[in-house]
Amino acid sequence: MAIRKILNERTDNTTLRRKCRVVEQVDDRILMLLDDMLETMVDANGVGLAAPQVGVLRRLAVVDVEDGTGPYFLINPEIIEREGEQVGPEGCLSVSRLNGTVTRPMKIKVKALDREGKERIYEAEGYLARAMCHEIDHLDGILFIDVAADLYDPDDKEREKKPLKVRARRK
């Protein structure tokens, strides 16, 4: 396993904005990449990482929100059901020093291939659902800053006193 370099939106925006290709075959190269992605995510204290964030334009993501159910290795993931709504803060390992308020479904069903290449349906709720939605967006070149209602510096202690009026940056 190896830690890979995580691309940043400021310097690698072109790569991060591309639509990723479907994985045709779950082979050793894909499994090694997934292992590297997990190691890279853990090293960066993240709860999810998508392949384009390490410069690979394939439909792959790893998610582990430390709720005891992960890590999830998602190959060609697709959200097949959405239910409810949650509004909450999000950040991204590819976007430095910005958080945003993002509305996501409260519950989702995700269809994906597992490490054996077998089709699985995962049900996710709350924070796990949020993390999966965020990572799956990456596979279509969508960053949370595109869908956030506001953007703010998470270290800004004065933030609570300011009106929320930073507009989201659109693609």
- Confirm or reject binding of residue 92 to Zn ion (CB under 5 A): yes
Nearer to Zn ion, 105 or 134 (CB): 134
Q: Looking at this protein, which amino acid is placed at residue 49?
A: L
- Confirm or reject binding of residue 62 to Zn ion (CB under 5 A): no
- Confirm or reject binding of residue 61 to Zn ion (CB under 5 A): no
Q: Looking at this protein, which amino acid is placed at residue 119?
A: E
Residue 27, token pair as written in the block:
């082979």
Kindly give the residue spans of alpha helices, DSSP state H, lying in the chain.
13-16, 28-43, 126-138, 144-147
Backbone angles phi, psi at 122, to 5 degrees: -105, 140
- Of residues 17 through 56, those in contact with Zn ion by CB under 5 A are none
Contacts of 111 (CB under 8 A, 6+ apart): 77, 78, 80, 119, 120, 121
Query: Catalytic annotation on 24?
Result: no
Number of residues forming the site for Zn ion (CB under 5 A): 1
Residue 39, token pair as written in the block:
């190691």
Q: Which residue in 78, 135, 158, 160 is the catalytic one?
A: 135
Q: Please, what is the minimum distance in Å from the beta carbon of residue 134 to Zn ion?
A: 5
Annotate each residue in 100-139 with x if it binds Zn ion (CB under 5 A) or - if it does not, as one string.
----------------------------------------
- Residues noted as catalytic: 135
Site residues for Zn ion per CB under 5 A: 92
